[in-house]
Amino acid sequence: MILKILFLQQSKIMAGIVAIVGRPNVGKSTFFNRMIQKRDAIVDSQSGVTRDRHYGKSDWNGREFTLIDTGGYLENSDDIFQKEIDKQVSLAIEEADAILFIVDVIDGVTGMDQIIAKLLRRSRKPVYLTINKVDNTSRIQMTSEFYSLGYKNFYCISSVSGSGTGELLDDLISHMPNEEKQIGDELPNFAVVGRPNAGKSSFINAIIGKERNIVTKIAGTTRDSINTRYKRFGFDFNLIDTAGIRKKAKIKEDIEFYSIMRSVRSIEYADVCILIIDATRGFDGQVQNIFWLIHRNNKGIVILVNKWDLLEKSINVTKKYETQIREAISPFKDVPIVFVSSLTKQRIFKSVSTAIEVFENRKRKIPTKILNNEMLPIIEKTPPPSSKGKYIKIKFCTQLPTNYPQFVFFCNLPQYLKDPYRRFIENKIRSRFDFQGVPIQIFFRKK
């Protein structure tokens, strides 16, 4: 019964992409940070602080969704940064499944709120009007003027305290697509992701032996996600080229941003993500963002360093390059890295077999008896450190029946276990069983 409850708690149903929009300084980033339970977005009283988009995973009642924190929309501004922000807010609206339109109860309805409301009505997406900074009952009485924006319902919340967010999230989840991928329902999906012009389409063409996808030196040539079935040499899976830039009417495309937007959706539905990086550009910040997005979605990961034929190669250069990547992705270092060239087909088919191995690792189930026989002696030899005079005893462990590796350890005082010991347990599991390229989640529960 306990395992059944844990399974229901940890088995997530995908709910898509939610964009947070509104004019500057209404509390979008504060709400975003609260939802992802991190301080990823900078929060300041000065308007226009958020100039980049932030991506994060959140969940409510077992339903996962991706949140996008956009910069404040401000039409016809002379600010050089504002034009870029407005363009990318429009792109986020186009790609999102639902939109949280945040306004400020203190300022009331402004002309810019009216402009944003008009923009959102044209999108024909589900919009949730969210009135922020409603911290007391007197401010609730100030909300009636927001009916002028044309929405039948609105939600009164406080991003700082979190009050009112429960009702908002209940309605948000109930009206979003209910999609869940089941193990064995279909062919494995391998998403090919990375920055524009890293060689994703060339990689797919090299594997299938056809000019299936258009390849040019112009970043953004691929205009949409393209599925290609690969059925050769005993392998059978779908390859998804996610470079996709899709033409949008009256929107001047931002290639870098839209590539990430398309990748977000493809990553969520993939089993394994093949992250391609350009060897001449390195494992830069944008590539790292994509890597951690894959990791947060608990997908299998294979890193391909493409265009390796353009660099002067030696054993020392290869080791140095690999070391730099592993330092950047620490502490999750157990990821295969393959140096390839789509042009010369160097190690192309090794990358395919590696992706298959990662897929098998992600499905791996360790029998409870074997897991306990391996892990309990290790725990007995190196028990959790005492905390506040309390001694933690771990008596039993098992793998949860989920579609990626999750393990639960039952103990007397789970609240005193810290992250360093959690990482210790994960490292020991990885040393005993092959989970290379796969994120692992460890849970401690009271017996």
Determine contact, residues 200/243, Cβ cutoff 8 Å. Answer: yes
Q: Is the pLDDT of residue 49 over 80?
A: no
Of the listed ranges 131-145, 238-252, 393-407, the least confidently predicted one is 238-252
Query: So what's the pLDDT on residue 250?
Result: 35
Residue 144: C-alpha distances to residues 7, 148, 149, 156, 261 (Å) = 43, 8, 10, 11, 35
C-alpha closest to that of 302 among 256, 355, 251, 263: 355
Helix axes 111-123, 80-95, angle to 10 degrees: 40
Q: Spell out where 123-234 has E strands.
A: 127-132, 155-156, 189-194, 226-232
The pLDDT of 131-160, averaged and rounded, is: 89
Give me 216's structure tokens: 């040019």
Q: Is the pLDDT of residue 349 over 60?
A: yes
Task: Render pLDDT for 192-228 as a digit per residue (tens, 0 to 9).
Answer: 888 777 888 788 888 877 544 333 333 443 334 456 7
The pLDDT of 246-252, averaged and rounded, is: 37
Task: Render pLDDT for 62-83 as a digit per residue (tens, 0 to 9).
Answer: 787 888 877 665 555 454 444 5
Query: So what's the pLDDT on residue 30?
Result: 86
Q: Is the pLDDT of residue 428 over 90?
A: yes
Q: Could you tell me the pLDDT band of residue 94, with boundaries at 50, 70 and 90?
A: confident
Which has the higher per-residue pLDDT, 39 or 408? Answer: 408
Query: So what's the pLDDT on residue 363?
Result: 93
State CA 131 to chain mean position distance: 27
Give me 37's structure tokens: 């339970």
Determine contact, residues 122/115, Cβ cutoff 8 Å. Answer: no
* Cis amide prior to 336 (ω within 30 degrees): no
Give me 64's structure tokens: 């996962």
Query: So what's the pLDDT on residue 397?
Result: 95
Query: So what's the pLDDT on residue 272?
Result: 94
Query: So what's the pLDDT on residue 217?
Result: 39
Q: Could you tell me the pLDDT band of residue 375, with boundaries at 50, 70 and 90?
A: very high
Q: Is the pLDDT of residue 284 over 80?
A: yes
Residue 123: C-alpha distances to residues 55, 113, 175 (Å) = 21, 15, 17
Q: How large a percentage of the chain has pLDDT more than 70?
A: 75
Q: Could you tell me the pLDDT band of residue 89, with boundaries at 50, 70 and 90?
A: low
Please tell me the distance from the alpha carbon of residue 117 to that of residue 101, in angstroms, as a whole number: 8
Q: Report how far apart the first and last C-alpha atoms of the chain are (Å, whole number).
A: 12
Half-sphere exposure for 331 (CA within 13 Å, toward CB): 9
Highest average pLDDT, of 205-214, 224-233, 243-252, 316-325, comes from 316-325
**Average pLDDT score over the chain:** 78
The pLDDT of 386-394, averaged and rounded, is: 86
Q: Is the pLDDT of residue 246 over 50?
A: no
Which has the higher per-residue pLDDT, 388 or 341? Answer: 341
Please name the residues in contact with 375: beta carbons below 8 A apart, sequence gap of 6 or more.
397, 409, 425, 428, 429, 432
Residue 396: C-alpha distances to residues 11, 58, 362, 379 (Å) = 21, 30, 23, 10
Q: Is the pLDDT of residue 48 over 70?
A: no
The pLDDT of 130-147, averaged and rounded, is: 89
The pTM (predicted TM-score) of the whole model is: 0.64
